[in-house]
Structure 1
Amino acid sequence: MNRVSDIDLRLLRVFVVVVESEGFAAAESVLNVSTSTISLHIGNLESRLGIRLCERGRRGFSLTERGKVVFEETKRLLKTIDDFSGIVASTKSLLAGRLVVGMVDALTAHADFPLAEAIREFNKVKNEVEFDLIVGTRQSLERDVLSGQIHAALGPFKRDSDALNVTPLFYEPHDLYCGEGHPLFGATINDVKNVDFTQYATIQRPYHRGFSVEHFDAVREGGAVNSMEGMLTMLLSGGYLGFLPRHFAKPWEQQGKLYAVDRVSMTYVSEHAVITKKGARESIALNPFVAALKKVATLRRREDG
């Protein structure tokens, strides 16, 4: 492939969907074409590139090493094209292009989570912006913002960063929970005052291995999760302790399926922020979107205060 043509771009977009869907079959519903057609497209792309991008067969779908490189570079290329479309549209005084925004999971039920209202505020101005919303871990979202694969991300990001603009938005209280059937379910503050927590298995977060140790002198690891949904599932089994956002746990707590252990001393608050990359060539829609986030967050803080 000497030059990238329109056909190449269409095939590359199919390739990205297949990889993100983790296979041809799963990509059918997204692309609205048959598996055989998808296979033909990927075969054509491999022929045009002169390399094998992926393995497919009885062992399942997987990228080759070269395929991984092409996938990452394709995402950068398509983002650049989308940003260019937005810049061209801006010359006609119209916001356009694609805006890729990431967020950590289990935030939607938080009363101060500003994203939905900020999008509503953003859309009050006539635009042709396409939003892509991605849910990921804090680490993966930060990495994707730094690499330029996404424009902005919302989550518990730290303020001190030489490479990122970090704008605080809202706070999220977390409590230590256990599920129905756990020995500490229903225990009072006095009951747990001198408890040796090492006798109880605690679910860890791989992206923050020292987290539980910060709240206990020592812990007995009982497993690991990389999402709040995963943590909730493990706690509902009744065999573990773990931290959850208070707003996320509330419905199950009200049903008597979760219990907050010592809400006085086992509570912490995380600060959530929106991050963007410093010095990046921004999507034309990014600044108005971040401004809408800040506006909504500020109004909600005033209402709470």
Structure 2
Amino acid sequence: MNIGQSTISGYITKLEDRLGVKLCLRGRSGFRLTDAGEKLYDAAIELFEDLDRFRLKVGEVRDDLTGNFYAGTVDSVVQVKDSVIPKLLGAFAEKAPNLHLDLRLASPQALVRELTAKRFSVIILPVFRPLAGLKVLELEARNPQILFCARNHPLYGKSPAEEELRAAPFADRAHMEGWAPYSSRALNVAATTVDVECQLLLILSGKFIGYLPARHVSSYVASGDLWPLSHPEMDYDSRMCLAVRADDESSATQIFTSLASGLTGNVLQSES
């Protein structure tokens, strides 16, 4: 920021004097917020979010959408060939050119929390079960989630029994526990990551098996680098969906969902 530490310290002291509370502890031992500082920091974040919503509302009244539009998505959605999501984002940017689109990456659980807390207006994520208080629109065809291994793995080229699959060292995406239909507790979890790319790297090492979206890795299967360990008791499907709050009637969100419906032919459906 090109601001000296002493200058920043002076600004903090003046702010503390104005607010009448100690915001942080600073010194040789380091820097940390006090309890009051943490509460006021959270309040400031809420204030900025309220300002963003106010700007959106003003834009709606003027029939000129302005301000920030926050959207969230999971990782690796771009790896699906002919995905509708880039087209949707482009159509929205063209429809609301004065609106600043802020797209962020997060786990499915975090996306739902942010949407419910009204920090995001729309989210894109795999849905396996109803999401209370939300409406969803299916964006893409269902994507089989299959266990895979690499060319140099002992199970490559085989059709192992369920017991063999559960015993094999498994690379897990940590945030999928409690979200996806499978339970990692029933698998031999030997490595953990948080995104599809890292999980793919672990599987390609030849030391682990793991779930991957079949459509994402079709080129690896075609080249022989990955082998599908498909098993009827272990496979499951995911559906990539757009989700919004059921009570969100803002113009920007309605435009986004209308464009999604036009591109896919699907409609928003209430989750219960």
The alignment's TM-score, normalised by the length of structure 2, stands at 0.79
Tell me if the contact between 2:22 and 2:34 (Cα under 8 Å) persists in the aligned partners: no
Deviates more, 1:199-208 or 1:65-74: 65-74
Within 5 Å, which residues of 2 pair with 1:31-50?
33-34=1-2, 36=4, 40=8, 43=12, 45=15, 48-49=18-19, 50=21
Q: Report the CA distance shift for 1:176/1:89 in structure 2 as closer, same or farther (over 3 A).
A: same
**Structure 1 equivalent of residue 172 of structure 2:** 204
**How far apart, CA to CA, are the structure 2 residues paired with 1:212 and 1:79?**
31
% of aligned pairs identical? Answer: 21
Q: Report the CA distance shift for 1:62/1:225 in structure 2 as closer, same or farther (over 3 A).
A: farther
**Structure 1 equivalent of residue 79 of structure 2:** 109
**How far apart, CA to CA, are the structure 1 residues paired with 2:124 and 2:68?**
17
**How far apart, CA to CA, are the structure 2 residues paired with 1:56 and 1:179?**
52
Q: Report the CA distance shift for 1:96/1:217 in structure 2 as closer, same or farther (over 3 A).
A: closer
Residue 193 of structure 1 and its aligned partner are, at CA, apart by 4.1
**Structure 1 equivalent of residue 245 of structure 2:** 277
Indicate the SS of the match to 1:290: helix
1:179-198 CA-partner distances (Å, limit 9, x unpaired): 3422112x233xx2476234
Tell me if the contact between 2:128 and 2:181 (Cα under 8 Å) persists in the aligned partners: no
Tell me if the contact between 1:151 and 1:283 (Cα under 8 Å) persists in the aligned partners: no
Within 5 Å, which residues of 2 pair with 1:4-15?
none
Tell me if the contact between 2:162 and 2:233 (Cα under 8 Å) persists in the aligned partners: no
**Structure 1 equivalent of residue 270 of structure 2:** none
CA RMSD of aligned residues (A): 3.4
Indicate the SS of the match to 2:247: coil
Q: Which runs of 5+ in 1 are unaligned?
A: 1-32, 300-305
Q: Report the CA distance shift for 1:58/1:279 in structure 2 as closer, same or farther (over 3 A).
A: same
2:191 to 223, 228, 238: 223
**How far apart, CA to CA, are the structure 2 residues paired with 1:106 and 1:40?**
39
Indicate the SS of the match to 2:79: coil
**Structure 1 equivalent of residue 262 of structure 2:** 295
Q: Report the CA distance shift for 1:236/1:109 in structure 2 as closer, same or farther (over 3 A).
A: same
Task: Figure out how many residues of one structure are paired with residues of the other and give that number.
Answer: 262
**Structure 2 equivalent of residue 26 of structure 1:** none
**Structure 2 equivalent of residue 51 of structure 1:** 22
Considering fraction of residues, name the structure with more helix: 1
Q: Which runs of 5+ in 2 are unaligned?
A: 267-272
Within 5 Å, which residues of 2 pair with 1:128-167?
128-158=98-128, 160-167=130-137
AA partner of residue 256 (structure 2): F
Within 5 Å, which residues of 2 pair with 1:237-276?
237-262=205-230, 267-276=235-244
**Structure 2 equivalent of residue 178 of structure 1:** 149
